[in-house]
Amino acid sequence: MRILTPLQKTGNQFVKITFDEAFQQIRSHIQQHKPEETAVFAGGKMSNEELYLIQKWARIGIKTNALASFEYLERPGAFCFDKNDIVPLAELAGTTHSFCLGFERNATHPQLQLINQLLAENGIETVYLSEQADIQDFCAFFKAVNLYIVRHQLTRGIFVERLAKNLEPYLSSLLPYELSILMQQAHIEEEKLKDFVQKFLNAPCPVIIYFEPNTSVETIKELNNLALLTGIQAQQSSGLLGIKENINSQGLFDMGIFPNLNVGGDAFDKDNIQIAKQLYGCEPAHQPVDMQQQLLDGHFKTCLIFQENPLATFSNKQLIEKALKESFVVLQTDELNETAEVADLILPATLPGEENASYTDSTRMAFTMKKNKACEVEMTNFEQIAELCHLFGLEKPTSPTDVFLEYVSFFKTGCRSAQRHFFKF
């Protein structure tokens, strides 16, 4: 059933309260403790404008850098790529071979359905690696592929010739591996490994498409290494394409919903801290935070969870349930879910299409979704977060457009080659 008003837990039941009452409770609980004892979590269903306001409220209003998303809390790193290193959807028509990992041809995820449709309509030869039951460990499989390519001197392209910045250290870490052991871990015979390598290297324009939620961090690192060893990212319609879980999972990185990232998706440095100081009039909280460890250690006294359901997605439900029960939990959601069981206060969430907003897809292309249906909730997500910002002394934004004009100040233009083309190991 859709939640339309704020709800406060009284005993074992939720009772309706006003937005003003809910906001005052949130402010009261946060101000009872040290700033760093408040954690803010946000999910990839939220718009760029909402995510930006959340990080601003946290870092400037609450003065905490304890920001995270449960989508990536257990899987840090390897998920934020430069736009130039991602195959655009428009280029898939020129691909000759696609190798799909983490999903199948009958996938129901909306963007995976689009991918499968594009591949089929353009007659692209496609291998669904997840349908090959004999491969049991894809990290070991792709590490074996990379080792085979290196040992048989099959590397090629501008990255191994001059652009890759840490080729020698990477090779020093790779070459000690035993190919036979990696193949045993992957559960694949050398002949099949050789067939895959030949097919991949003979493909004029190969693209590897993987579904992030079903692909491990270590496997993605090996895919990145394969792309650099073979130079496939240097040509059109070829390279890597990672599909994220939600409509704006990429926005979590671009809007700085992680302790190590500022708005713009870059690590904190003097330049972007200075931009923040000029915009906000003060320095944002940016001290390092181990979010998962501090959460599980019971460090946080208040947990603000926006449009996520960690009790349904976290690998160890009992562990996360225990951690959340030790804090005051505010949950923004459109319906009662598993996490609502441990929530002390619930804010109603609006849905995409109920307000004007922008999102960023898996290829880091921003797009706007116009309001196309009536909003049943009195205050939209944007309005709720804007009011919370105001309660903590920040200027209240009047529209998503104002917020857009503010956050684009953080995005750097030009080539970022100094941050790219690194082997990962």
C-beta separation of 323 from 294 below 8 A: no
Task: Write down all domains in the chain, each with its CATH number in brackets.
Answer: 7-75+248-410 (3.40.50.740), 83-243 (3.40.228.10)
The pLDDT score that the predictor gives to residue 267 is 87
- Using DSSP, state whether 8 is helix, strand or coil: strand
Lowest-pLDDT range, 217-221, 225-229, 266-270? 266-270
CB-count burial class (<10 Å; 0-12, 13-18, 19+) for 219 = buried
Question: Are the C-beta atoms of 265 and 112 separated by less than 8 Å?
Answer: no
Quick check: 143 pLDDT over 80? yes
Q: How far is CA 43 from CA 107, 250, 258, 404, in A?
A: 22, 10, 12, 19
Q: Determine the average pLDDT of the residues in 71-90.
A: 84
> Reduced to 3 states, what is the DSSP secondary structure of residue 66?
coil
Please report where in the chains the tokens 């406060």 appear, as a residue: 8
pLDDT at 231 over 90: yes
Q: Report, as an integer, the average pLDDT of 138-164.
A: 95
Predicted TM-score (pTM) of this structure: 0.93
d(CA 111, CA 237): 18
Read off the pLDDT band of 395 (50, 70, 90). very high
Residue 415: the pLDDT is: 55
The predicted pLDDT at position 391 comes to 97
**C-alpha span between 397 and 117 (Å, rounded):** 41
Q: Burial of 425 by CB count in 10 Å (0-12 exposed, 13-18 middle, 19+ buried)?
A: middle
In this structure, the strands spanning 67-68 and 38-42 are parallel
Decide if 251 contacts 62 (C-beta within 8 A).
no
Distance CA 238, CA 7 (A): 50
CB 56 within 8 A of CB 64: no
**What's the whole-number mean pLDDT along residues 9-25?**
96
The number of beta carbons lying within 10 Å of the beta carbon of residue 18 is 11
pLDDT computed for residue 236 by the predictor: 93
- The 10s digit of each residue's pLDDT in 327-365 is 999 999 999 999 999 999 999 999 988 999 999 999 989
pLDDT surpasses 90 at 172 = yes
pLDDT for residue 25: 97
- How many C-beta atoms lie closer than 10 Å to residue 182's C-beta? 22
| Whether the Cβ atoms of residue 249 and residue 139 lie closer than 8 Å to each other | no
Mean pLDDT in residue range 243-272: 92
Tell me which of 11 and 41 has the higher pLDDT.
41
What b/e readout covers 75-96, taking b as 16+ CB neighbours within 10 angstroms?
Answer: eeebbbbeeebbbebebbebbb
Average pLDDT of the chain to the nearest whole number: 93
pLDDT at 133: 66
In angstroms, the CA 73 to CA 323 distance is 14
Question: What are the pLDDT digits (tens) for 47-64?
Answer: 999 999 999 999 999 999
Q: How is residue 297 written in tokens?
A: 């250690």
* CA dist., res. 158 & res. 142, Å (int): 21
